[in-house]
Structure 1
Amino acid sequence: MKLKDMVLTALLLSIGLVLHQITPPIVGGMKPNFLLAMLFVALYINNSPRNAFLAGVIGGTFAALTTSFPGGQVANFFEEIITAFVVSLLIKLTAKMSPHLSVPLVGFIGTVESGTVFLTIALLVVGSLPVAFPILFTTVVIPAAVINTFVTYICYNVVFSARKVMKKA
Protein backbone atom coordinates (compact mmCIF):
# COMPACT_ATOMS: atom_id res chain seq x y z
CA MET A 1 0.00 0.00 0.00
CA LYS A 2 1.31 3.41 -0.96
CA LEU A 3 2.00 6.01 1.70
CA LYS A 4 -0.13 8.59 -0.14
CA ASP A 5 -3.14 6.22 0.04
CA MET A 6 -2.61 5.72 3.78
CA VAL A 7 -2.32 9.47 4.33
CA LEU A 8 -5.42 10.12 2.21
CA THR A 9 -7.38 7.52 4.18
CA ALA A 10 -6.35 9.09 7.49
CA LEU A 11 -7.12 12.57 6.15
CA LEU A 12 -10.58 11.57 4.89
CA LEU A 13 -11.44 9.94 8.21
CA SER A 14 -10.19 13.00 10.10
CA ILE A 15 -12.35 15.25 7.93
CA GLY A 16 -15.27 12.88 8.54
CA LEU A 17 -14.72 13.12 12.28
CA VAL A 18 -14.63 16.92 12.24
CA LEU A 19 -17.72 17.15 10.02
CA HIS A 20 -19.52 14.65 12.23
CA GLN A 21 -18.70 16.71 15.33
CA ILE A 22 -19.78 20.09 13.94
CA THR A 23 -22.91 18.96 12.09
CA PRO A 24 -26.07 19.74 14.03
CA PRO A 25 -28.71 17.03 14.44
CA ILE A 26 -31.28 17.00 11.65
CA VAL A 27 -34.14 14.81 12.87
CA GLY A 28 -34.66 13.66 16.46
CA GLY A 29 -31.00 14.04 17.40
CA MET A 30 -29.89 12.04 14.37
CA LYS A 31 -27.24 13.42 12.07
CA PRO A 32 -25.43 12.17 8.99
CA ASN A 33 -22.42 10.03 9.86
CA PHE A 34 -19.71 11.75 7.87
CA LEU A 35 -17.12 9.47 9.48
CA LEU A 36 -18.84 6.42 8.02
CA ALA A 37 -19.31 8.12 4.64
CA MET A 38 -15.62 9.02 4.52
CA LEU A 39 -14.73 5.44 5.45
CA PHE A 40 -16.67 4.28 2.39
CA VAL A 41 -14.99 6.87 0.14
CA ALA A 42 -11.54 5.90 1.46
CA LEU A 43 -12.30 2.29 0.53
CA TYR A 44 -13.33 3.37 -2.96
CA ILE A 45 -9.95 5.06 -3.35
CA ASN A 46 -7.96 2.06 -2.11
CA ASN A 47 -9.91 -1.14 -1.68
CA SER A 48 -7.08 -3.31 -0.40
CA PRO A 49 -7.49 -5.48 2.72
CA ARG A 50 -4.69 -3.52 4.41
CA ASN A 51 -6.47 -0.22 3.81
CA ALA A 52 -9.77 -1.72 4.98
CA PHE A 53 -8.11 -2.76 8.23
CA LEU A 54 -6.31 0.58 8.67
CA ALA A 55 -9.45 2.58 7.90
CA GLY A 56 -11.52 0.36 10.18
CA VAL A 57 -9.12 0.79 13.11
CA ILE A 58 -8.84 4.57 12.64
CA GLY A 59 -12.59 4.97 12.13
CA GLY A 60 -13.34 2.70 15.07
CA THR A 61 -11.01 4.62 17.33
CA PHE A 62 -12.52 7.97 16.30
CA ALA A 63 -16.06 6.67 16.72
CA ALA A 64 -15.26 5.10 20.09
CA LEU A 65 -13.83 8.38 21.35
CA THR A 66 -16.94 10.34 20.42
CA THR A 67 -19.82 8.02 21.32
CA SER A 68 -22.22 8.48 24.20
CA PHE A 69 -24.16 5.26 23.55
CA PRO A 70 -23.98 2.67 26.38
CA GLY A 71 -21.31 0.13 25.39
CA GLY A 72 -20.59 2.25 22.34
CA GLN A 73 -16.81 2.39 22.78
CA VAL A 74 -16.33 -1.34 22.29
CA ALA A 75 -19.18 -1.61 19.79
CA ASN A 76 -17.92 1.27 17.62
CA PHE A 77 -14.34 0.03 17.53
CA PHE A 78 -15.16 -3.48 16.36
CA GLU A 79 -18.14 -2.47 14.22
CA GLU A 80 -16.03 -0.08 12.12
CA ILE A 81 -13.44 -2.78 11.39
CA ILE A 82 -16.14 -5.28 10.42
CA THR A 83 -17.93 -2.65 8.33
CA ALA A 84 -14.70 -1.75 6.51
CA PHE A 85 -14.27 -5.34 5.34
CA VAL A 86 -17.96 -5.76 4.44
CA VAL A 87 -17.95 -2.52 2.44
CA SER A 88 -14.69 -3.55 0.78
CA LEU A 89 -16.43 -6.73 -0.38
CA LEU A 90 -19.51 -4.75 -1.50
CA ILE A 91 -17.30 -2.44 -3.56
CA LYS A 92 -15.75 -5.47 -5.28
CA LEU A 93 -19.17 -7.01 -5.92
CA THR A 94 -20.52 -3.78 -7.47
CA ALA A 95 -17.34 -2.89 -9.40
CA LYS A 96 -18.96 -3.37 -12.81
CA MET A 97 -21.88 -1.08 -11.95
CA SER A 98 -21.92 2.63 -12.66
CA PRO A 99 -20.69 4.66 -9.67
CA HIS A 100 -23.99 6.56 -9.87
CA LEU A 101 -25.67 3.32 -8.78
CA SER A 102 -22.99 1.48 -6.81
CA VAL A 103 -21.91 4.33 -4.51
CA PRO A 104 -25.41 5.06 -3.13
CA LEU A 105 -26.11 1.31 -2.91
CA VAL A 106 -22.91 0.67 -0.97
CA GLY A 107 -23.61 3.72 1.21
CA PHE A 108 -27.06 2.43 2.13
CA ILE A 109 -26.17 -1.23 2.64
CA GLY A 110 -22.94 -0.34 4.45
CA THR A 111 -24.76 1.96 6.86
CA VAL A 112 -27.50 -0.59 7.57
CA GLU A 113 -24.85 -3.26 8.19
CA SER A 114 -22.87 -0.87 10.37
CA GLY A 115 -25.89 0.04 12.50
CA THR A 116 -26.96 -3.57 12.84
CA VAL A 117 -23.50 -4.74 13.89
CA PHE A 118 -23.15 -1.78 16.26
CA LEU A 119 -26.45 -2.49 18.00
CA THR A 120 -25.71 -6.21 18.20
CA ILE A 121 -22.27 -5.70 19.76
CA ALA A 122 -23.61 -3.04 22.16
CA LEU A 123 -26.37 -5.46 23.20
CA LEU A 124 -23.81 -8.21 23.83
CA VAL A 125 -21.47 -5.89 25.76
CA VAL A 126 -24.07 -4.15 27.95
CA GLY A 127 -26.72 -6.87 28.10
CA SER A 128 -29.59 -4.59 27.12
CA LEU A 129 -30.17 -1.56 24.94
CA PRO A 130 -31.78 1.69 26.12
CA VAL A 131 -34.65 0.99 23.67
CA ALA A 132 -35.66 -2.27 21.98
CA PHE A 133 -33.51 -3.33 19.01
CA PRO A 134 -36.34 -3.15 16.42
CA ILE A 135 -37.25 0.37 17.51
CA LEU A 136 -33.64 1.57 17.31
CA PHE A 137 -33.27 -0.13 13.94
CA THR A 138 -36.34 1.48 12.39
CA THR A 139 -36.02 4.92 13.99
CA VAL A 140 -32.24 5.40 13.86
CA VAL A 141 -30.48 2.93 11.56
CA ILE A 142 -32.81 3.11 8.55
CA PRO A 143 -33.15 6.95 8.54
CA ALA A 144 -29.38 7.26 9.05
CA ALA A 145 -28.83 4.90 6.12
CA VAL A 146 -31.06 7.01 3.89
CA ILE A 147 -29.19 10.19 4.85
CA ASN A 148 -25.81 8.48 4.56
CA THR A 149 -26.70 7.25 1.07
CA PHE A 150 -26.77 10.85 -0.14
CA VAL A 151 -23.83 11.98 1.99
CA THR A 152 -21.64 9.13 0.70
CA TYR A 153 -22.56 9.89 -2.91
CA ILE A 154 -21.83 13.62 -2.50
CA CYS A 155 -18.53 13.02 -0.68
CA TYR A 156 -17.49 10.44 -3.28
CA ASN A 157 -18.14 12.90 -6.11
CA VAL A 158 -16.29 15.73 -4.36
CA VAL A 159 -13.23 13.59 -3.59
CA PHE A 160 -13.04 11.97 -7.02
CA SER A 161 -13.52 15.33 -8.79
CA ALA A 162 -10.68 16.78 -6.70
CA ARG A 163 -8.48 13.77 -7.55
CA LYS A 164 -9.09 14.33 -11.27
CA VAL A 165 -8.11 17.99 -10.95
CA MET A 166 -4.99 17.10 -8.95
CA LYS A 167 -3.88 14.54 -11.55
CA LYS A 168 -4.11 17.19 -14.28
CA ALA A 169 -2.05 19.69 -12.28
Structure 2
Amino acid sequence: MKTKDMILAAVLLALGTILHAITPPIYGVTPDMLLATMFLAIFIVKNFSSTVVISLVAGVLAMLTTKFPGGQIPSIIDKLVSGIVVYFIYKYIFKFNLNTIKSGIINFVGTFSSGLVFLTFAVFVFTPSMKDSFLVLVGTVVLPASIMNTVLGIILSKSLKLSKKLRKA
Protein backbone atom coordinates (compact mmCIF):
# COMPACT_ATOMS: atom_id res chain seq x y z
CA MET A 1 0.00 0.00 0.00
CA LYS A 2 1.34 3.43 -0.90
CA THR A 3 1.96 5.84 1.95
CA LYS A 4 -0.60 8.37 0.72
CA ASP A 5 -3.23 5.61 0.39
CA MET A 6 -2.41 4.39 3.90
CA ILE A 7 -2.78 7.92 5.30
CA LEU A 8 -6.05 8.48 3.43
CA ALA A 9 -7.39 5.15 4.71
CA ALA A 10 -6.42 6.12 8.27
CA VAL A 11 -8.14 9.50 7.94
CA LEU A 12 -11.27 7.84 6.54
CA LEU A 13 -11.34 5.31 9.37
CA ALA A 14 -10.88 8.11 11.92
CA LEU A 15 -13.80 10.00 10.37
CA GLY A 16 -15.91 6.85 10.42
CA THR A 17 -15.01 6.19 14.04
CA ILE A 18 -16.12 9.67 15.05
CA LEU A 19 -19.40 9.22 13.16
CA HIS A 20 -19.86 5.79 14.76
CA ALA A 21 -19.20 7.18 18.24
CA ILE A 22 -21.62 10.13 17.97
CA THR A 23 -24.46 8.39 16.12
CA PRO A 24 -27.23 7.65 18.62
CA PRO A 25 -28.37 4.03 19.00
CA ILE A 26 -31.70 2.84 17.61
CA TYR A 27 -33.20 0.19 19.88
CA GLY A 28 -29.77 -0.35 21.43
CA VAL A 29 -27.94 -0.77 18.09
CA THR A 30 -25.93 2.03 16.51
CA PRO A 31 -26.08 2.39 12.72
CA ASP A 32 -22.48 1.90 11.66
CA MET A 33 -21.25 4.90 9.66
CA LEU A 34 -17.73 3.51 9.98
CA LEU A 35 -18.65 1.05 7.23
CA ALA A 36 -19.09 3.74 4.56
CA THR A 37 -15.61 5.11 5.23
CA MET A 38 -14.14 1.60 5.40
CA PHE A 39 -15.65 0.77 2.01
CA LEU A 40 -14.23 3.96 0.53
CA ALA A 41 -10.79 3.05 1.88
CA ILE A 42 -11.16 -0.36 0.20
CA PHE A 43 -12.07 1.38 -3.08
CA ILE A 44 -8.87 3.40 -2.81
CA VAL A 45 -6.39 0.60 -2.05
CA LYS A 46 -7.75 -2.08 -4.45
CA ASN A 47 -5.64 -4.71 -2.72
CA PHE A 48 -6.89 -7.80 -0.82
CA SER A 49 -4.26 -7.82 1.93
CA SER A 50 -4.82 -4.10 2.55
CA THR A 51 -8.57 -4.74 2.60
CA VAL A 52 -8.10 -7.31 5.37
CA VAL A 53 -5.95 -4.89 7.38
CA ILE A 54 -8.41 -2.00 6.87
CA SER A 55 -11.31 -4.28 7.88
CA LEU A 56 -9.56 -5.50 11.04
CA VAL A 57 -8.61 -1.95 12.06
CA ALA A 58 -12.18 -0.81 11.43
CA GLY A 59 -13.42 -3.75 13.51
CA VAL A 60 -11.19 -2.81 16.43
CA LEU A 61 -12.29 0.85 16.19
CA ALA A 62 -15.95 -0.22 16.08
CA MET A 63 -15.33 -2.56 19.03
CA LEU A 64 -14.06 0.37 21.07
CA THR A 65 -17.12 2.51 20.30
CA THR A 66 -19.95 -0.05 20.22
CA LYS A 67 -22.96 0.58 22.42
CA PHE A 68 -24.49 -2.88 21.92
CA PRO A 69 -24.15 -5.24 24.91
CA GLY A 70 -21.72 -7.99 23.91
CA GLY A 71 -21.00 -6.26 20.60
CA GLN A 72 -17.21 -6.17 20.84
CA ILE A 73 -16.32 -9.47 19.14
CA PRO A 74 -19.18 -9.25 16.60
CA SER A 75 -17.87 -5.80 15.56
CA ILE A 76 -14.57 -7.30 14.47
CA ILE A 77 -16.17 -10.28 12.74
CA ASP A 78 -18.72 -8.22 10.82
CA LYS A 79 -16.13 -5.72 9.54
CA LEU A 80 -13.89 -8.51 8.32
CA VAL A 81 -16.72 -10.34 6.55
CA SER A 82 -18.24 -7.21 5.00
CA GLY A 83 -14.83 -5.89 3.93
CA ILE A 84 -14.09 -9.11 2.08
CA VAL A 85 -17.59 -9.16 0.53
CA VAL A 86 -17.18 -5.57 -0.67
CA TYR A 87 -13.71 -6.26 -2.05
CA PHE A 88 -14.90 -9.25 -4.08
CA ILE A 89 -17.96 -7.40 -5.42
CA TYR A 90 -15.75 -4.45 -6.33
CA LYS A 91 -13.07 -6.60 -7.99
CA TYR A 92 -14.97 -9.42 -9.66
CA ILE A 93 -18.41 -7.97 -10.41
CA PHE A 94 -17.56 -4.30 -11.04
CA LYS A 95 -13.95 -4.89 -12.21
CA PHE A 96 -12.60 -1.97 -10.11
CA ASN A 97 -14.85 0.37 -12.10
CA LEU A 98 -16.98 2.54 -9.83
CA ASN A 99 -19.78 4.99 -10.52
CA THR A 100 -22.60 6.39 -8.38
CA ILE A 101 -24.96 3.46 -8.84
CA LYS A 102 -22.25 0.84 -8.29
CA SER A 103 -21.04 2.68 -5.19
CA GLY A 104 -24.59 2.72 -3.84
CA ILE A 105 -25.06 -0.99 -4.52
CA ILE A 106 -21.77 -1.92 -2.85
CA ASN A 107 -22.50 0.26 0.19
CA PHE A 108 -26.00 -1.19 0.58
CA VAL A 109 -24.92 -4.83 0.18
CA GLY A 110 -21.84 -4.33 2.38
CA THR A 111 -23.77 -2.61 5.16
CA PHE A 112 -26.63 -5.09 5.02
CA SER A 113 -24.25 -8.08 5.17
CA SER A 114 -22.34 -6.41 8.00
CA GLY A 115 -25.54 -5.85 9.97
CA LEU A 116 -26.70 -9.42 9.48
CA VAL A 117 -23.33 -10.86 10.56
CA PHE A 118 -23.17 -8.52 13.56
CA LEU A 119 -26.69 -9.30 14.73
CA THR A 120 -26.30 -13.02 14.13
CA PHE A 121 -23.23 -13.17 16.36
CA ALA A 122 -24.37 -10.56 18.88
CA VAL A 123 -27.88 -11.91 19.35
CA PHE A 124 -27.52 -15.66 18.95
CA VAL A 125 -24.06 -16.14 20.48
CA PHE A 126 -23.52 -13.34 23.01
CA THR A 127 -27.04 -12.22 24.04
CA PRO A 128 -29.42 -15.12 23.31
CA SER A 129 -32.12 -13.46 25.41
CA MET A 130 -32.64 -11.06 22.46
CA LYS A 131 -33.13 -13.76 19.78
CA ASP A 132 -36.88 -13.08 19.58
CA SER A 133 -36.13 -9.52 18.43
CA PHE A 134 -33.71 -10.50 15.61
CA LEU A 135 -36.08 -9.78 12.71
CA VAL A 136 -37.29 -6.58 14.34
CA LEU A 137 -33.69 -5.40 14.66
CA VAL A 138 -32.99 -6.26 11.01
CA GLY A 139 -36.01 -4.23 9.89
CA THR A 140 -35.59 -1.30 12.24
CA VAL A 141 -31.80 -1.00 12.41
CA VAL A 142 -30.00 -2.88 9.62
CA LEU A 143 -32.24 -1.76 6.77
CA PRO A 144 -32.28 1.97 7.74
CA ALA A 145 -28.52 1.85 8.41
CA SER A 146 -27.99 0.31 4.98
CA ILE A 147 -29.95 3.12 3.37
CA MET A 148 -28.08 5.78 5.37
CA ASN A 149 -24.70 4.25 4.51
CA THR A 150 -25.69 4.04 0.84
CA VAL A 151 -26.35 7.79 0.78
CA LEU A 152 -23.20 8.55 2.80
CA GLY A 153 -21.11 6.22 0.61
CA ILE A 154 -22.33 7.89 -2.59
CA ILE A 155 -21.51 11.33 -1.17
CA LEU A 156 -18.05 10.19 -0.05
CA SER A 157 -17.22 8.50 -3.36
CA LYS A 158 -18.33 11.60 -5.30
CA SER A 159 -16.15 13.71 -2.99
CA LEU A 160 -13.20 11.43 -3.67
CA LYS A 161 -13.69 11.70 -7.44
CA LEU A 162 -13.92 15.49 -7.18
CA SER A 163 -10.75 15.67 -5.10
CA LYS A 164 -8.89 13.54 -7.68
CA LYS A 165 -10.01 15.90 -10.44
CA LEU A 166 -8.89 18.92 -8.44
CA ARG A 167 -5.47 17.37 -7.79
CA LYS A 168 -4.95 16.75 -11.48
CA ALA A 169 -5.87 20.32 -12.39
Output the TM-score relative to the length of structure 1.
0.87
* Residues 119 and 133, structure 1, Cα contact 8 Å, conserved in 2: yes
Segments of 5+ residues of structure 1 without an aligned counterpart are: none
Q: Closer, same or farther in 2 for the Cα pair 1:115/1:157, shift >3 Å?
A: same
Match of 1:164 in 2: 165
Aligned equivalents of 1:127 and 1:21: distance in 2?
A: 22
Aligned partner of 2:121: which letter? I
User: Are positions 1:8 and 2:13 aligned together?
Assistant: no
Q: Closer, same or farther in 2 for the Cα pair 1:49/1:62, shift >3 Å?
A: same
Output the TM-score relative to the length of structure 2.
0.87
Q: Closer, same or farther in 2 for the Cα pair 1:161/1:81, shift >3 Å?
A: same
1:167 to partner: Cα distance: 3.4
Match of 2:18 in 1: 18
1:83-122 → structure 2 map (5 Å cutoff):
83-92=82-91, 93-95=93-95, 99-122=99-122
Q: Closer, same or farther in 2 for the Cα pair 1:112/1:12, shift >3 Å?
A: same
Q: Closer, same or farther in 2 for the Cα pair 1:125/1:29, shift >3 Å?
A: closer
Segments of 5+ residues of structure 2 without an aligned counterpart are: none
1:73 to partner: Cα distance: 0.3
Match of 1:68 in 2: 67
Q: How many residues align?
A: 167
Identity %: 36
1:58 to partner: Cα distance: 1.1
* Residues 107 and 146, structure 2, Cα contact 8 Å, conserved in 1: yes
1:123 to partner: Cα distance: 2.8
SS of 2:9 mapped into structure 1: helix
Instruction: Give deviations 1:21-63, integer Å, cap 9, x for gaps.
Output: 34557x7787653211001111111121122111101110110
Q: Closer, same or farther in 2 for the Cα pair 1:96/1:51, shift >3 Å?
A: closer
